Each structure stands twice: as structure tokens, then as C-alpha cells.
Amino acid sequence: MKSLSRILAVLRKEVRQLRRDRLTFGMVVGLPVMQMLLFGYAINTDVRNLEAAVADQADTHLSRQFVAELAQTQVIDIVDRVATPEQLEALLRQGDISIGVYIPRDFDRRVVDGTRAAAHLLVDGSDPTILGVANQLRLMPFGFDAGNAARSAPQALEVRPYYNPERRTPVNIVPGLMGVILTMTMILFTAVAIVRERERGNLELLINTPVSSLELMIGKVVPYILIGMVQLALILAVGRLLFDVPVRGSVVDLYLAAMAFIAANLSLGLFISTAARTQFQATQITVFILLPSILLSGFMFPFEGMPEVAQWLGEVLPNTHFIRLTRGIMLRDAALGDLLGEMAYLLGFTVVAMTGAALRFTKRLD
Amino acid sequence: MSREFAIEARGLTKRFGDLVAVSQLDLDVPRGTIYGFLGPNGSGKSTTIRMLCGLLMPSEGKALVLDTEVPGDARRLKPRIGYMTQKFSLFGDMTVFENLQFIAEIYSYPRRERAGRIEELLERYDLRDQRRQLAGTMSGGQKQRLALACAVLHRPELLLLDEPTSAVDPQSRRDFWSALFRLAEAGTTILVSTHYMDEAERCHRLAILDHGVKVADGTPTELQAGTGMHVVEVTSSNPYQAQQVIADLPAVASVTQLGVRLRVLIPDSEDNPVALVEEAMRAANLDTHAELSTASLEDVFVAVTLKPQSKAA
């Protein structure tokens, strides 16, 4: 009973201080929205309208039809027509175009012949995304006129993107972004919240009162769980309204997964707070965890494509498991029961980090 | 079980790596008294106070605080002691009232009496006008009064004050001490550390710490009587030269300049200290007036912190 009232006292104090700290309060709301807008609009691996130039030296009926079909894909946007491949190279070098289409004089014969490439794509290979797009273009079915139908090479493979048929990037980004934003705010807020009290000397006062370490930790952490929930709701709302990101699975499952993830991050934040002496150190350690959480969690790059060592590191990070959960629940309509392994990891992580923090956080100064 | 002493410490020692911050400290603090810790910065005052309230684990020794073993039972002790940190440690981004309220909640002060107790403290420590002011924006004296109000809110039996007056003006210091006397009269035991001599003089008893060692303890009067030194006060128109001459005398333990006066400490074994000083001054062709004086607390401090050095020499 006394214990509960002490926890409530710490909790009330924390909320009161949070309300007065406009910067943090702004971060709670502003950060998720800003990041959603930035990532949602700026990151786009779904490339369209790459600037291209054509050097059509054949200039036949067939070559003109070929160029027209390329343009129809909307992948390239033909902005210039030149006479020679050298001119294409110059434009590439200057960065005026990303793709040059060179059609040699004997284009028709090459098409009929079929042993040599009929046309060349000169690609700015310095950007892997553009290179990838060019590779897709190579597979473009080139359906000729009825008379030439026999020569339209049938495609070996056809790609059917499940769960994201329109291949829109935000659909893929938003579930991962939830994890990144929560990682950042949850770890940072808790780590800083305790280190700040140590820096200001408040902790020396607090540990001389009857409040226990556990009561203090619970009282400090609970407000941030609520903040995490608010942020999650904000991200889902922005994702829905601006980017039309679906939640195909159950929202309850999603919130349960988020609870486990928030708990994992808060425990990690608490653990950091027992190691860091200053707010600056706490911030540094948070960034140290945040970067791999963005790069190695499968948020930016496909997890399976990473080197094995990077995958091991990725497996340790809570965000990796949360992203699997969110993508599963939001996009694949998976139930929490299908993803128990990921949930178990998050809960296990929480227990370990929390125990570590409680062991390290003593009510003494030495 | 001691009804007599609020604090009994035996052989209290604290090492930080190679540094011995407090060494073999014995301490008996009678109940209901104001007990002073006098010593320069780094003499182990804060470390001792922190060990006594369980904030630091002693490397050796133990203490009985309010009949409770420290550090073993520190948790049970917390509700019975009040602690005022050297640095202001309340919440700067909360108002005076909110700070008091938080402390009341943390100490589980009876809900029905809470509001009344807070009003009483605001009144007693002259903080009524600051009630809605953020604690961080107050003056040094106001912060200190708030800190004291928070430390005594739960009516502790023992109050530990770590250099409470180091950041306030003389008027605030006087007010603060009259507040301490009121608390002591009401039965609270107070342990206060300071490096101000005038404050030490107000304590019922005090211990002088030097480099982690207790070099003397007793009532101020006992300490002043028991220095084992004659105090000769010397006036001269050329105090700087006079100081050099007197300091060269083998019998002299120390010379301290106070304006135009010199306080000269000479061991009791010397029969006629005044003559000794006057002779030396005459020999150096310096005008002089020397007379015996009673030891001030400052003289006591100089005398007791000298001892290890004279032994070494």
C-alpha cells in the first residue's frame, strides 16, 4: 500500500516534469510525425521517371516502336535524343541522365538474329538502385507486331509481389519505422531521465528517502510506456491517412507486440542509465544502439542479404524482432501465435536487461 | 541499545582506491544535541555523513545510528532520518509546494495531515510567497530553506546536514542556525558539517577532521581549554617581518596573521611565552606589544591540525 503510493508519487512527479519540459514533450509528438513524413516521402526504392536519352542510329519502324515501349513503362523519361553513343556517355558523366539507350544501326537485324543484344542500356552504375531498375528493364517483354510475335522472347520468370502488389515503399517502410522511432525515443527518454537526476543531484536525495530502487524504476518507466503507446497510435494514424498503409492483422496483436517491444527498450534504457554518468554519455550510447537498429534490423536492407556476422548482431537487437512482428501483423495478416518466437525473444530480452539494471542500480553512491 | 547516543561509530574507514577518505573514525553523538563536523574541504566530512546514512559502504568499521546497524539496516533507518545534501538536490522544475508535496508522498506522511504540515513548514521557513515559484529560480537562501523544510517534513529523529550554509549569505546563515536550535530544542539530533569557525562555535559538541582523521572532539569550551598551547597575541607595525622573526623561533608551533595582529601558538611546556616573543622582536629591532590570549576555535583548529606535522619534524 505504501509502496504503491510511493510509485504513484514518483509517477506524478515524472509526468509533471515532463509537461514542463517542452522540448521533450515536443519530441514525443513531433519526432514520429516528422520521421514518418521524411521517410514516407523521401525514401522511395520504387523508381519511376529516370531521366534518359536515346541515340537511335537505326531509326527504323521497329526501333521507334522499341523506344516508345520503353517510354510507356514510365520507368524512364526520355528527355533528350542524341546521335552517337559518345554523346550518351557525356550526358551520363555530367549527370544529366541516369540511363542512355543506344540503338545501333543494325538493330533490326540483331532482333531477328537473336544472338546478340539488339540495343544497349548505358547505366549510371554509381547508384545501385538505378542499376537494379536497368536490370529489370532488360527483362522487359518486347512484344513486337503480330508478324514478329514469334520472336518476342518469353520471360523465364515472372515476379508477383505478394502483400504489397503495388510495390509502394511506404507500405514496407512504415512497419519498420515504428520500431526505429520507438527504439530512439524509448531508450533515450528513460536513459536520460535517470541520468539527469543523477547529474542534478536529485538521486542523492531520492535514495535517502524510503523509496526503493524498484519503486523508483517503475514510477519512472510507466509514463514512458504510455508515451510509447501514443507514439504508436500517431504512427499508425499518419501511415493510414497519408500513405494508406494497411493493418491487415489484429490491432490488439499489434499493440501487444508493441508492449513487449517498449518493455524491452525501456529496460535497455534503464540499463544504460546505470552505466552512463552524464546525459551526454547516455545520448551517445543510445545512438550507438540506434544505428545498428536502423541498418542491421532489416529495416533498410533485407535481413537475409546481410553477411552472417551482421545477421548475428541483428538477431540481438530488439528492433529486428519487432520489425518481423509488425510486418507480419500489418502486411501479412499474421496472428501473434504465428510469431511466438519473436515475442519470446522480446520478453526474454526485457527480463535480462531489467535484471541487469536492477542489479547495477543500488541505493548507494559507491 | 543506547538511549544516550544517536550515533555511535567505531573504526569507520572509507577507502577510494588508494585514497583513504576517512580513517578509523570513532564518533559518539549524544541525542538532542547539535554536533558539528569541522574540517577543510576533502577532510572526509561528506564521506562520513554518507556512510552514516547508508549512502556509502564503509570499507571497515560499523556504526549504530538510532540503534540501527549501518550499513546493514539502512533501509529501516531512512524514514527516521532527514538528510540535506551539500548541493541543492530538489527538483528545480517543480514549484516549492510541489516539491514539499512530493516529499510528503514519498515519506507516506499521513494524508489527512499533509496539507497542514506543508502550510506549517511554508510558514516557519518563510516560503509562503514562493509557494508557486519553481524551485530552480529561487535564491540560494530560499533554496536552502526549502531543502531544510523538505528534510524535516517527516519529523526525523536525526538530521544530517552536509555543509548546509556553503552557498548562502550571512543573514541567511544566522536565520538557518536559529531554525536548527529550534529543532534541537524539540529533541532532534543534528549532525552538521561546516568549514566556518563561527558555525562550529554554535554547536554543542564538535569533532575536527583533518585528512580523514578525527584530530579532536569535545565541546567548544573543552577544545579551547585543551589545546596544550599558549596563545600569544602580538601587535606590531610591521606584521609581515614580525611573522618571519617569530616563525623562526624553535619553540613556536605556528603563527597566523589576522590583520595587524599575529596569533602565535607556543606549547604549554614553555614557561614564559610572552617574554620569549618580546625578546626575539627586540633582537630584530621591531616594535611590539605581546599578551596572552585565550584560544579561539580557529586556534584550536590550527593547533590540532599541526600535530602530525610537528611529530614528523
Same domain, A176 and A55: no
Q: What is the CATH number of the domain that holds B84?
A: 3.40.50.300
End-of-domain residue from the set A126, A151, A176? A151
Window B:3-62, CB contacts with A under 8 Å: 16, 50, 53-57
For residues B47-54, average pLDDT: 91
Same domain, A217 and A278: yes
Q: Which residues of A touch B105 (CB under 8 A)?
A: 5-6, 8-9, 12
* Structural domain span for residue B169: 5-223
Same domain, A316 and A174: yes
pLDDT for A108-118, tens place per residue?
888 777 677 77
Residue B24's pLDDT band (boundaries 50, 70, 90)?
Answer: very high
Assess if residue B301 is contained within a domain: no
Which of A18-27, B139-148, B172-181 shows the lowest per-residue confidence on average (mean pLDDT)? Answer: A18-27
Q: Residue B71: is its pLDDT beyond 90?
A: no
Residue A164's pLDDT band (boundaries 50, 70, 90)?
Answer: low
Same domain, B121 and B236: no
Which of A93-97, A287-291, B81-85 shows the lowest per-residue confidence on average (mean pLDDT)? Answer: A93-97
**To which H or E segment does residue B208 belong?**
strand B205-210
Min Cα separation B77/chain A (Å)? 9
End-of-domain residue from the set B170, B194, B223? B223
Contact A363/B108, CB-based, under 8 Å?
Answer: no
Same domain, A39 and A54: no
pLDDT of residue B231: 92
Assess if residue A192 is contained within a domain: yes
Same domain, B51 and B176: yes
Mutation for B interface: A17, A23, A205, most B CBs within 10 A: A205
For residues B4-11, average pLDDT: 92
**Is the Cβ of B156 closer than 8 Å to some Cβ of chain A?**
no
Q: What is the CATH number of the domain that holds A105?
A: 3.40.1710.10
Length of chain B: 313
pLDDT of residue B1: 46
Closest CA to A175 of A34, A297, A279, A290: A297
Same domain, A20 and A74: no
Min Cα separation A205/chain B (Å)? 6
pLDDT of residue B307: 56
Between these two residues, A50 and B154, which has the higher pLDDT value? B154
Closest CA to A265 of A216, A231, A307: A231
Same domain, B186 and B60: yes
* Structural domain span for residue A147: 50-151
> Do B178 and B118 touch, CB atoms closer than 8 A?
no
pLDDT of residue A156: 44
> Could you give the dihedral angle defined by the CA atoms of residues A136, A137, A138 and A143, in that order, rounded to the nearest 10 degrees?
120
**To which H or E segment does residue B306 belong?**
helix B297-312
Assess if residue A38 is contained within a domain: yes
SS (H, E, C) chain A: CHHHHHHHHHHHHHHHHHHHCHHHHHHHHHHHHHHHHHHHHHCCCCCCCEEEEEEECCCCHHHHHHHHHHHHCCCEEEEEEECCHHHHHHHHHHCCCCEEEEECCCHHHHHHHCCCCCCEEEECCCCHHHHHHHHHHHCCCCCCCHHHHHHCCCCCCCCCCCCCCCCCHHHHHHHHHHHHHHHHHHHHHHHHHHHHHHHHCHHHHHCCCCCCHHHHHHHHHHHHHHHHHHHHHHHHHHHHHHHCCCCCCCHHHHHHHHHHHHHHHHHHHHHHHHHCCCHHHHHHHHHHHHHHHHHCCCCCCCHHHCCHHHHHHHHHCHHHHHHHHHHHHHHCCCCHHHHHHHHHHHHHHHHHHHHHHHHHCCCCCC
β-pair type (B229-235, B289-293): antiparallel
Assess if residue A356 is contained within a domain: yes
Contact A205/B83, CB-based, under 8 Å?
Answer: yes
> Is residue A269 exposed (0-12), middle (13-18) or buried (19+ Cβ within 10 Å)?
buried
End-of-domain residue from the set A90, A122, A151? A151
The grid cell for A176 is 519498420
Q: What is the CATH number of the domain that holds B253?
A: 3.30.70.100
Contact A13/B102, CB-based, under 8 Å?
Answer: yes
Mutation for A interface: B48, B73, B93, most A CBs within 10 A: B93
- pLDDT cut 90: percent of chain A above it: 18
Assess if residue A299 is contained within a domain: yes
Which of A37-51, A197-211, A255-269, B221-235 shows the lowest per-residue confidence on average (mean pLDDT)? Answer: A37-51
Q: List the single residue in A with minimal CA-CA distance to B154.
A: A209
pLDDT of residue A145: 42
For residues B54-61, average pLDDT: 90
Same domain, B74 and B191: yes
Which of A173-177, A295-299, B75-79 shows the lowest per-residue confidence on average (mean pLDDT)? Answer: A173-177
pTM > 0.90: no
Interface residues of A toward B, Cβ cutoff 8 Å, are 2, 5-6, 8-10, 12-13, 16-17, 20-21, 200-202, 204-212, 363-366
Q: Which residues of A touch B85 (CB under 8 A)?
A: 201, 204-205
Assess if residue A128 is contained within a domain: yes
Coil, helix or strand at residue B213: strand
Q: Residue B8: is its pLDDT beyond 70?
A: yes
DSSP B263-289: EEEEETT-S-HHHHHHHHHHHTT---E
Same domain, B268 and B208: no
Between these two residues, A334 and B179, which has the higher pLDDT value? B179
Domain count for chain A: 2
Q: Residue A155: is its pLDDT beyond 50?
A: no
Min Cα separation B54/chain A (Å)? 7
Residue A153's pLDDT band (boundaries 50, 70, 90)?
Answer: very low
Choose from A152-156, A274-278, B128-132, B226-230 the range with maximum mean pLDDT: B128-132
Min Cα separation B93/chain A (Å)? 6
Same domain, A182 and A322: yes
Between these two residues, A23 and A319, which has the higher pLDDT value? A319
Same domain, B251 and B182: no
Residue A366's pLDDT band (boundaries 50, 70, 90)?
Answer: low
Same domain, A196 and A218: yes
Residue B156's pLDDT band (boundaries 50, 70, 90)?
Answer: very high
> Do A142 and A69 touch, CB atoms closer than 8 A?
yes
Cα separation, B83 vs A204, whole angstroms: 9
Domain count for chain B: 2
pLDDT of residue B312: 36
The grid cell for A240 is 493510414
pLDDT for B233-285, tens place per residue?
999 888 888 888 998 888 899 998 888 889 999 998 888 999 999 888 888 88
Same domain, B63 and B121: yes
pLDDT of residue A198: 86
**Is the Cβ of B97 closer than 8 Å to some Cβ of chain A?**
no
Q: Residue B310: is its pLDDT beyond 90?
A: no
Same domain, A127 and A199: no
Assess if residue B104 is contained within a domain: yes
Same domain, A251 and A220: yes
Residue B117's pLDDT band (boundaries 50, 70, 90)?
Answer: very high
End-of-domain residue from the set B189, B223, B257? B223
Rg (CA), chain A: 28
pLDDT, chain B, mean: 90
Residue B110's pLDDT band (boundaries 50, 70, 90)?
Answer: very high
pLDDT of residue A305: 80
Same domain, A255 and A346: yes
Cα separation, A295 vs A323, whole angstroms: 12
Min Cα separation B295/chain A (Å)? 38
pLDDT of residue A167: 60
pLDDT of residue A50: 82
